[in-house]
C-alpha cells in the first residue's frame, strides 16, 4: 500500500509541476464561476423559471428540463473537449516514466513492474477524476442550491466520463510502452476518439457499403473499439432520466480497456531498458 500511495502521490506531484492539474482546475473553476454568478435562475411557482445570462432574460421554461438540459451540455463539453485535453496532458505523464535514467532507478526497487505501471496509471486516472468530480460535483451543488433539483444522474454521468478516460489512458500506456513517444500515443488515441463516433453510425455506413467484407470490417471495428459515442448517448439519457437501451457499449468498452491495459503490462514486463 505504501508503494501504491507513493506512486499516486508522485503522479499528482508531477501533474502539479507540469501545471496540468492547475490548468484543468482553472478551466473547471471558470465554468463554476460562470454558473454561480453569470447564470441567474429565478424559480417562479415551483416549476417555471426565468433564466438570465449576462443580464438578458430568456423565456420561461420547465426547471427540471432546464437543469438537466444544462447539465447534459456540461457533461458533453466535459466528455468530448475535456477528454481531449485530458488525453493530451496525460500522454506526457505516461511517457515520462520510461525516460532513460529514471526508469532504471524505478526498476531497481523491490517493486514489480506491474505494480509500478498500475500505480502510475491509477495516479493519472485520479488526477483527471479529481478535476471531473470537482466540476461535476460543484455544478451539481450550484444547480441544486439555485433550483432545488438534486437528480443524481449528472453525478453518476461523471463516473462514465472517468471510465472512458481510463480506457483511453490504457491506449496511451500501451503506445507509450511500445514506442516511448507521447506524440504517437496522442495521435493514436485521438484517432480512436475520432473514428469511434463515425463507427457508431454503423447501420447507415453498412447501407452505403456494397461488399459484405467491407461491412464485416466496419462491424469488427465497431465491436472491438471503445464505444465513446454510444457511451455519450447513455450519459445524456442518464442525465435526462431517459431509459438506457443496452449496456453493451459499457461492457465492450471495458473489455477493450482491460485487453489494451493487459497488453501494455505484458509488454512492459518483457521490455529491456
Partner 1 sequence: MAAYAIETEGLTKVFRTAFSARELRAVDDISLRVPAGSTYGLLGPNGAGKTTFVKMLLSCTHQTAGRAMVFGKDTRHAEARRPIGYLPENHRFPTYMTGFDMLDFYGALSGMATNARRKRIPELLNMVGLDERAHGLRLGKYSKGMLQRVGLAQALIHSPKLLVLDEPSDGVDPVGRKHIRDILHALEQQGVTIFLNSHLLSEVELFCREVAIIQKGKLALTGSVEDLTQGSGYHVEGMHVPEGVAKELRTRARSFTSDNGSLRLLFATRGDANQAVDLMRSSGCEIESLGRTRSTLEEVFMKTVEGGVRP
Binding site for partner 1 (CB under 8 A): 2-3, 5-7, 9-10, 13-14, 16-18, 99-112, 115, 270, 272-273
Please answer whether residues 160 and 50 qualify as being in contact, where contact means their C-beta atoms are separated by less than 8 angstroms: no
Between 219 and 271, whose beta carbon lies closer to partner 1? 271
Which residue lies nearer to partner 1 by CB, 102 or 216? 102
Candidates 129, 130, 110, 126; CA nearest to 118 is 126
Residue 65: CB minimum distance to partner 1, A: 46
Q: How far is the CB of 261 from partner 1 (least distance, A)?
A: 20
**Minimum distance of partner 1 from residue 206's CB (angstroms):** 38
Residue given cell 509541476 in the structure block: 17
Residue 156's contacts (CB-CB under 8 Å, 6 or more residues apart) are 238
Q: What is the closest distance, in whole angstroms, from the C-beta atom of residue 99 to partner 1 in the complex?
A: 6
Q: How far is the CB of 104 from partner 1 (least distance, A)?
A: 5
* 2 or 211: CB nearest partner 1: 2
Minimum CB distance to partner 1, residue 10 (Å): 6
| Minimum distance of partner 1 from residue 167's CB (angstroms) | 27
Our CB check for partner 1 shows the closer of 241 and 269 to be: 269
Report the 10 Å Cβ neighbour count for 233.
15
Give the whole-angstrom CA distance, residue 40 versus residue 248: 39
Closest CB to partner 1 among 10 and 206? 10
Look at the chain and count its residues. 273
Nearer to partner 1, 215 or 271 (CB): 271
Alpha-carbon gap, residue 268 to 239, rounded angstroms: 39
Q: Which residue lies nearer to partner 1 by CB, 210 or 272?
A: 272
The least distance separating partner 1 from the CB of residue 108, rounded to whole angstroms, comes to 4
In angstroms, rounded to a whole number, what is the distance separating the alpha carbons of residues 163 and 6? 23
Of 99 and 216, the one with the shorter C-beta distance to partner 1 is 99
Amino acid at each position: 500500500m505504501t508503494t501504491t500511495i507513493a506512486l499516486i502521490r508522485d503522479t499528482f506531484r508531477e501533474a502539479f509541476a507540469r501545471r496540468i492539474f492547475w490548468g484543468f482546475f482553472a478551466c473547471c473553476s471558470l465554468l463554476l464561476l460562470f454558473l454561480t454568478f453569470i447564470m441567474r435562475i429565478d424559480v417562479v411557482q415551483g416549476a417555471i423559471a426565468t433564466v438570465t445570462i449576462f443580464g438578458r432574460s430568456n423565456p420561461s421554461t420547465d426547471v427540471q428540463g432546464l437543469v438537466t438540459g444544462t447539465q447534459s451540455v456540461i457533461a458533453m463539453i466535459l466528455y468530448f473537449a475535456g477528454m481531449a485535453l485530458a488525453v493530451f496532458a496525460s500522454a506526457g505523464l505516461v511517457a515520462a516514466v520510461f525516460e532513460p535514467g529514471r526508469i532504471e532507478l524505478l526498476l531497481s526497487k523491490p517493486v514489480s513492474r506491474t505494480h509500478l505501471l498500475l500505480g502510475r496509471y491509477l495516479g493519472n486516472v485520479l488526477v483527471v477524476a479529481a478535476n471531473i468530480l470537482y466540476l461535476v460535483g460543484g455544478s451539481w451543488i450550484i444547480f441544486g442550491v439555485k433550483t432545488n433539483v438534486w437528480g443524481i444522474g449528472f453525478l453518476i454521468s461523471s463516473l462514465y466520463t472517468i471510465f472512458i478516460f481510463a480506457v483511453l489512458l490504457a491506449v496511451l500506456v500501451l503506445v507509450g510502452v511500445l514506442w516511448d513517444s507521447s506524440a504517437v500515443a496522442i495521435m493514436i488515441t485521438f484517432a480512436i476518439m475520432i473514428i469511434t463516433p463515425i463507427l457508431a453510425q454503423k447501420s447507415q455506413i453498412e447501407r452505403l457499403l456494397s461488399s459484405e467484407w467491407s461491412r464485416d470490417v466496419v462491424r469488427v471495428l465497431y465491436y472491438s473499439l471503445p464505444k465513446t459515442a454510444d457511451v455519450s448517448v447513455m450519459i445524456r439519457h442518464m442525465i435526462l432520466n431517459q431509459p438506457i437501451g443496452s449496456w453493451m457499449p459499457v461492457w465492450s468498452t471495458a473489455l477493450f480497456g482491460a485487453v489494451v491495459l493487459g497488453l501494455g503490462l505484458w509488454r512492459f514486463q518483457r521490455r529491456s531498458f
